[in-house]
Amino acid sequence: MTGMADPGGRKAAWSGGFAKGPSEPFRLTPQQQREVRARLEEGEPQDDIARSYSVDVDTIRQLAQILLADRFIGR
């Protein structure tokens, strides 16, 4: 069985509360996005914001980039 995946491994991982591989990303609601933008404008660290919403810091970085672009464009 060298090189073969354990067929029971994935099932055991899921039953133990641990997922293997990527899962569907958590999406912020429009209200949460407004809150995140306000917190970013106040200068709160992105990793702290991400942790409080249980999302990856990249999600917050994307919102920060949008916010920066909106400022640059003048929206």
Q: For residue 21, which of 10, 35, 34, 8 has the smallest C-alpha distance?
A: 10
Specify if 6 maps to a domain: no
Query: What is the span of the domain harbouring residue 46?
Result: 37-75
Distances from the Cα of 68 to the Cαs of 6, 40, 65, 74, in angstroms?
Answer: 47, 10, 5, 10
Specify if 23 maps to a domain: no
How many domains in the chain?
1
Specify if 71 maps to a domain: yes
Specify if 26 maps to a domain: no
Q: Which amino acid appears at position 74 of this protein?
A: G
pLDDT, position 24: 45
Specify if 61 maps to a domain: yes
Specify if 24 maps to a domain: no
Distances from the Cα of 43 to the Cαs of 2, 8, 24, 63, in angstroms?
Answer: 52, 47, 29, 14
**What is the chain's pLDDT, residue by residue, as a tens digit (75 residues)?**
555 566 666 566 555 555 444 444 458 999 999 999 999 999 999 999 999 999 999 999 999 998 888 888 876
